[in-house]
């Protein structure tokens, strides 16, 4: 597997771009012209070779730069990593999941050798190598979940299952769509999702919780979620809202194609073996409207989704200020002709 990692930034000069291959494999989330919040969970089974679903955990051309951006965010705000004391078994579970998955699916980049509990981990793209004792916190330079969480794209939250619900008791969160780990850590499922509009009312959250509590070992699931971000910025946290919030004032028809990004989250859930916890991975894919419109079918579909979006969702996703501009920008790709169902680019 040849993976060429790009040198790029997700802040300041924003040099992040998608290659033609990356655009083509983008997980476009809209099979139909209408969108409403739903559970839409499916088994996380192997997808087509080359797609973001080929392996349980996807590594792409942005890996090195994304991990570097994560390190910057963590250095400026160590509170983006948090783990309550009872989560140590779950931390090792997640370390095992990530190391085994990457070394199996990307053997040229990641190597894991085991001699009983003595493990050696090599991460060639980031130049990391450590030998440690599995289960012994003191044998790693930091807590196992933070150690491995810094070496994987996306945000990770570990859920503890008790009292008939799930608690978000650990996380490493640096590329979130406007929610705060420091604030939400320790919350139960319903408290955590409290700000999602129209979801509690229609029972979506109850059904999703029931489903997740029954998640089986070895049978991970996934769903796609989406929002929009201005500039290819991973860290759209409430903590740094003063840094990125003002961008909403400067979107015009001229710059929308470049600055407005569709942000798709591939969310995957794995039952953890030793702790019986669940790890929730939120992997973010960004694509500018210009890049998206290289496949006019996608631009046309996205135009229809955005045009008819419920005002509560516009508000919740923070799209209100630039929504009209984005819709107008996309409208030139929409001739009104029907589109067949499916997320394919052509």
Partner 1 sequence: MSTVNVRVAAIEQVTPLVKHFTLVREDGQAFPPFSGGSHVVVAMDIGGRIHRNAYSLMGAPDDTQAYHISVRRQERSRGGSAYMHDNVAEGSVLQITMPVNLFQLIRMGRKHVLIAGGIGITPFMSQLHDLKRNGFEYELHYAFRSPEHGAFSAQLKSECGERAHFYIDSLGQQLDIPAVLSRQPLGTHVYVCGPAPMVNAVLEAARELGWPENHVHSEQFTAPPMGDAFKVQLAKSNMEVEVTADMTLLEALETAGVGPDSLCRGGACGRCELDVLELDGEIFHHDHYLSDAEKSSGKKILPCVSRARCTHMLLDI
Partner 2 sequence: MERGYRIRSKPNYETLVWKEKASAHVVVAKGAGGMAVLQLFQQMHPVQPVTVFYVRGDSTDKDYSQTLTKLVGDELQVFDTQMEALYAFYRRLPDMKMGTRFYVSGTESFIWSLCKLAALFDIQESEIVKQLSNSLSRPVYCVHCKATTPNVTTNIVACSKCSRKLFVRDHFSRHLGAYMGLMIDAENPGEVPAIEEIYP
296 belongs to the binding site for partner 2 (CB under 8 A): no
165 belongs to the binding site for partner 2 (CB under 8 A): no
In the complex, the smallest distance separating the C-beta of residue 138 from partner 2, rounded to whole angstroms, is 24
Structure tokens at 135: 């289960």
In the complex, the smallest distance separating the C-beta of residue 41 from partner 2, rounded to whole angstroms, is 21
Closest CA to 146 of 210, 215, 221, 74: 74
239 belongs to the binding site for partner 2 (CB under 8 A): yes
79 belongs to the binding site for partner 2 (CB under 8 A): yes
235 and 73 Cβ atoms separated by less than 8 Å: yes
- Secondary structure of residue 286 in the 3-state scheme: strand
**Given 137, 241, 254, 342, the residue binding partner 2 (CB under 8 A):** 241
Judged by CB under 8 A, the number of residues near partner 2 is: 29
Q: CB under 8 Å to 12, separation ≥6 — which residues?
A: none
89 binds, among partner 1, partner 2, none (CB under 5 to 8 A by kind): partner 1
User: Is residue 263 annotated as part of the catalytic site, yes or no?
Assistant: no
Sites for partner 2 among residues 307-336 (CB under 8 A): 312, 315, 321
74 and 80 Cβ atoms separated by less than 8 Å: yes
In this structure, is the dihedral angle defined by the CA atoms of residues 290, 296, 298 and 304, taken in order, positive or negative? positive
In whole angstroms, what is the distance from residue 184 CA to residue 194 CA? 11
Q: Residue 238: what are its φ and ψ, rounded to 5°? A: -65, -30
CB nearer to partner 1: give 162 or 332: 162
Closest CA to 303 of 322, 320, 326, 285: 326
Q: Measured in Å, how far apart are the chain's first and last C-alpha atoms?
A: 26
In the complex, the smallest distance separating the C-beta of residue 224 from partner 2, rounded to whole angstroms, is 23
In the complex, the smallest distance separating the C-beta of residue 221 from partner 1, rounded to whole angstroms, is 13
192 belongs to the binding site for partner 2 (CB under 8 A): yes
Closest CA to 55 of 2, 23, 98: 98
CB nearer to partner 1: give 162 or 344: 162
155 belongs to the binding site for partner 2 (CB under 8 A): no
Q: Which ranges of 106-220 does DSSP label H, i.e. alpha helix?
A: 144-149, 181-184, 189-192, 204-213
Give contact residues for partner 1 (rule: CB under 8 A).
Answer: 84, 86-89, 135, 160-163, 210, 214, 216-219, 273-276
216 binds, among partner 1, partner 2, none (CB under 5 to 8 A by kind): partner 1
206 belongs to the binding site for partner 2 (CB under 8 A): no
CB nearer to partner 2: give 112 or 166: 166
CB nearer to partner 1: give 33 or 89: 89
Question: Could you list the active site residues?
Answer: 223
């Amino acid at each position: 597997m040849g993976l060429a990692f790009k040198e790029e930034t997700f802040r300041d000069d924003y040099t992040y771009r998608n290659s033609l291959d990356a655009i083509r494999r983008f997980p476009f989330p809209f099979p139909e012209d209408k969108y409403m919040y739903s559970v839409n969970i499916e088994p996380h089974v192997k997808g087509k070779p080359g797609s973001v679903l080929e392996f349980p955990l996807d590594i792409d051309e942005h890996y090195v730069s994304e991990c570097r951006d994560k390190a910057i965010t963590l250095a400026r705000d160590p509170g983006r990593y948090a783990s309550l004391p009872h989560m140590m078994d779950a931390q090792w579970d997640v370390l095992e999941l990530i190391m085994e998955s990457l070394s199996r699916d990307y053997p040229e980049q990641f190597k894991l050798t085991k001699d009983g509990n003595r493990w050696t981990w090599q991460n060639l793209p980031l130049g990391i190598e450590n030998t440690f004792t599995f289960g012994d916190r003191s044998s790693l330079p930091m807590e196992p979940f933070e150690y491995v969480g810094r070496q994987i794209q996306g945000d990770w939250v570990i859920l503890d299952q008790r009292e008939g619900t799930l608690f978000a008791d650990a996380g490493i969160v640096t590329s979130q769509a406007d929610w705060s780990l420091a604030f939400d850590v320790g919350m139960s499922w319903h408290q955590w999702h409290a700000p999602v509009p129209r979801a509690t009312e229609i029972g979506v959250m109850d059904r999703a919780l029931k489903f997740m509590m029954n998640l089986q070992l070895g049978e991970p699931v996934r769903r796609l979620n989406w929002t929009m971000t201005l500039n290819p910025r991973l860290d759209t946290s409430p903590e740094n809202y003063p840094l990125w919030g003002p961008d909403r004032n400067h979107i015009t028809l001229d710059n929308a194609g470049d600055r407005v990004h569709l942000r798709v989250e591939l969310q995957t859930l794995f039952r953890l073996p030793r702790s019986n916890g669940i790890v929730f991975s939120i992997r973010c894919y960004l694509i500018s409207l210009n890049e998206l419109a290289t496949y006019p079918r996608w631009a046309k579909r996205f135009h229809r989704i955005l045009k008819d979006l419920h005002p509560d969702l516009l508000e919740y996703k923070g799209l209100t200020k630039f929504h009209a501009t984005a819709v107008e920008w996309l409208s030139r790709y929409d001739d009104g002709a029907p589109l067949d169902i499916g997320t394919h680019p052509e």
